[in-house]
Amino acid sequence: MRLFFIALQFITRVPIGIKAKEEEISRSSLFFPVIGACIGLFLFLIFFLSSKIFPQNVSILLVIIASILITGGFHTEGFIDVCDGFYGGKNKEDILRIMKDPHCGSMGIIGAIILILSKFVILDSIPPLKIFSALVLMGILSRWAMVFIAFSSEYARESGTGKVFVEGIKKPDFWLATVFTIVFSILLTGIYGIILMGIIVFITFFLGIFFTKKISGITGDTLGATNEIIEVISLLMILFFFK
């Protein structure tokens, strides 16, 4: 259970307070999809309770706010940095420098607006009976995507927050996370789960190639961006399957 709590501490703002070793941080990746499922369950609880009081669109808004709060906006921030860096950078050095800059540029702001608006519109369009599957699968698939892209890529910087995580994932941990993701994708959406998993694998693989071509690897920011992109794709596919 120690690795579970390390993973919870690594990708959420839940105050655990564990001082983890480098090997434990990378090994905790096997629990990322599990943490994603827990986040999805928490968000569904927000939706379920708030929908007793407010219209669905207000409940969806509260879900999106809760999703940002529980992660501290960490993944969203990474997405914003990637929008700024990849739009404004002319080469690897420029892109990495811009992404590290604490200031937010115009493209980052535009990207954040599009991201949040996309989640709101898609979630509000999903049938209420499928919101549970949508939120839980969104959490599972997006966190698995981070494990996959980290496992299959190199770290682009000499040092950084994600370096230990990216360079230390072992094959058994990756496959355990993958099996969990496949099983729950099928349990929640049936045969569509296999199709959805295939789509997520393809898009995540493409993102890894794109990032590697631009900056010779990935960073913590690109991990966060991957999470956000896969969340939107997951929701969009669930809407497509169950509209």
**146-170 per-position pLDDT tens digit:** 999 999 888 887 776 677 777 778 8
107: burial class by Cβ within 10 Å (0-12, 13-18, 19+)?
A: middle
DSSP H helices in the chain:
2-11, 22-27, 32-50, 56-71, 74-88, 92-100, 106-125, 131-151, 163-168, 171-189, 192-215, 220-242
Q: Give me the residue spans of the domains in the chain.
A: 2-242
pTM over 0.75: yes
Q: What is the pLDDT of residues 48-82, one digit of tens each?
A: 999 999 999 999 999 999 999 999 888 999 999 99
